[in-house]
Amino acid sequence: MLNLARLRVQRGRPLEARKLLTPVCERFTEGLGIKDLRAARALLETLPSDWWQSSCARRSPRQSSSHMNGDGSQLR
C-alpha cells in the first residue's frame, strides 16, 4: 500500500495517496514503531488534506482559475 501511495504522489495524485493511507494508518493502535507504518504516517503528513490544497498545488501561478475545470485540468 505504501508503494502504491508513493506512486500516486509521483504521478501528481496526492489525494488518492491520502485516501489509500488514511484508513490503514487509523486502524493501528499497536505496533506504531513498525518501519512501514512510520513511513506511511510520515508520507501522510506531507500530503494535502483537502481538494483545495491539492488543486492549488497543481495549478501554476500563470494559470487562472477561470481556465480550469473543477478537477484542476485545463478547459479546452
What is the full DSSP assignment across 40-75?
A: HHHHHHHS-SSHHHHHHHHS-TT--GGGB-TTSPBP
Is residue 38 in a domain?
yes
Q: Which pLDDT does position 63 carry in this prediction?
A: 44
Is residue 10 in a domain?
yes
Is residue 24 in a domain?
yes
Q: What is the mean pLDDT of each run of 10 residues along the chain (76 residues)?
A: 94 94 86 87 88 48 48 56
Domain housing 17: 2-57
d(CA 68, CA 47): 22
Is residue 11 in a domain?
yes
**pTM for the model:** 0.59
- The total domain count for the chain is 1
Is residue 62 in a domain?
no
